[in-house]
Structure formats: C-alpha cells, structure tokens
C-alpha cells in the first residue's frame, strides 16, 4: 500500500475536521436559531457541495485560489508560494467540499435541544456565549461527533476536488484515492485492492462508530 498517500490523507482529514468544527459550530448555530428570511439561501450555499459535481467545485476553487485571484495573490505575497498544487490548497478545497457534512449534523443536534433549557439559562442571566458553551454544546454532542466523524471519512475519500486543485504530486498532494487511481491505471490491481480494502474497512468503522456513539449518548442526555 502507498502509506505515504495514506498518511497525507489522514493529515488532510484531521486538519479539515478541526477547521470545520471551528467554523461549523457557529454557522450551524446561526442556521438553527436565526430568523432571517433569507436564511434558506445560506443553507443552500452550505449544501451545494452535496449536489455539485466535485470537478466543478474543484474548478471554481482553483480559480478562486489561483495566483491571479486576490486570495491567491495575497497568499503568494505573504508566503512566497502558491495555493494550487499544495497541501494548503487541498485544505481549502477540502474544507469547502466537506462543509455540509459538518454543518448539517451539528445543526440537527442543536435543533434537537429543548429550547426551554436555553431560555431558562438566558432568564437566569447567563450570556448567550456561556449558554452555548455550557448547555447547547454538551447536549448536542451526538450531532457534533457525527459531523466530525463524517467530515473525516468524507475527506479521506475525496478524489475529484483534490485532483483538480492539487494534482498528483507524490508526498505533497497525492491522496489515497488518487493513489488507487494510479495503481489501477498501472494495472497494479493487487496494490489497488489492498488500498481499497483499507478504505473500505475505515469507512465501515467510521459508520459503525457513528451509529454506536449516537445510541450510547442519546439516552444519557434526553432531548425531549
């Protein structure tokens, strides 16, 4: 197996998951509790990667972070490098591509929390930030854990987006899915089978852990 590609994918998945948790929790909170009429537009944008072909998303990300774009030019001035065909570029693309896999489960977890508990906290003079940290997040742990696990697994299996943005550079942007593709193209089916089996086992473990975690935690913190 291509352990270098596997390690790169794990590193990318962990980094993506941590960033998405930092961004996804406040975004999911806003989606759950905001009364803005145009909220559905934000929800549609967040969910867009679910229906948009990965190559299309990768193409637009490549344009957005390229050296001629404002973001790409700023990054080049600050670091002297380029985002396309780099690990950092893969990270940007992965965060965008896996965003709904974090936000939607977390928003569902927030929505399941009894609103009366939050209102009671506010009536007692607890700030919204403290209520979010002490009450909402602990009660929504199943949704948060599900979002983190699904985001990690989804990033591990990315292909179209990472290929468009990062290319196929060994040790830099060659993820495990691209490695499998290369092995098949080289007619090395034995190696491709071993790597595919690894991803299959990982995906099954992730899903089993998700369902087990939900069944174990939900009875501890009843939400109704």
126 occurs within a structural domain: yes
Q: Token digits for 115?
A: 């609103």
Cα separation, 136 vs 29, whole angstroms: 9
Number of domain units in the chain: 1
* Cα 175 from Cα 205, distance rounded (Å): 20
Q: Is the distance from CB of 12 to CB of 179 less than 8 angstroms?
A: no
CA distance linking residue 86 with residue 79, whole number of Å: 12
Residue 57, domain CATH = 1.10.3720.10
Residue 68 above 90 pLDDT? Answer: no
For residue range 6-26, list pLDDT tens digits in order: 899 999 999 999 999 999 999
182 burial type by CB count under 10 A (0-12 exposed, 13-18 middle, 19+ buried): middle
Q: What is the per-residue pLDDT across 13-64, written as a single tens digit (0 to 9) for each?
A: 999 999 999 999 999 999 999 988 899 999 999 999 999 999 999 999 999 9
pTM: 0.86
pLDDT tens digits along 182-224? 999 889 999 889 989 988 888 888 888 777 766 655 444 443 3
Boundaries of domain holding 180: 3-214
Predicted confidence (pLDDT) per residue in 82-136, tens digit: 899 999 999 999 999 999 999 999 999 999 888 888 888 888 888 888 899 888 9
């Amino acid at each position: 197996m291509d352990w270098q590609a596997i390690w790169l994918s794990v590193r990318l998945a962990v980094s993506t998951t941590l960033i998405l948790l930092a961004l996804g929790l406040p975004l999911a909170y806003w989606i759950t509790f905001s009364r803005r009429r145009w909220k559905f537009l934000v929800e549609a944008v967040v969910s867009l990667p679910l229906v948009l072909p990965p190559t299309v998303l990768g193409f637009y990300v490549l344009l957005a972070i390229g050296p001629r774009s404002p973001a790409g030019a700023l990054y080049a001035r600050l670091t002297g490098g380029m985002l396309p065909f780099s690990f950092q570029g893969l990270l940007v693309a992965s965060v965008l591509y896996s965003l709904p896999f974090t936000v939607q489960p977390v928003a569902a977890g927030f929505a399941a929390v009894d609103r009366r508990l939050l209102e009671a906290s506010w009536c007692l003079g607890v700030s919204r930030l403290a209520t979010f940290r002490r009450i909402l997040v602990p009660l929504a742990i199943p949704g948060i854990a599900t979002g983190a696990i699904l985001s990690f697994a989804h990033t591990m299996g990315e292909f179209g987006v990472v290929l468009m943005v990062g290319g196929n550079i060994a040790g830099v942007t060659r993820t495990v899915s691209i490695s499998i593709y290369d092995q098949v193209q080289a007619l090395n089916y034995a190696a491709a089978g071993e790597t595919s089996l690894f991803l299959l086992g990982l995906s099954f473990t992730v899903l089993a852990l998700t369902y087990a975690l939900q069944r174990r935690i939900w009875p501890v913190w009843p939400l109704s």
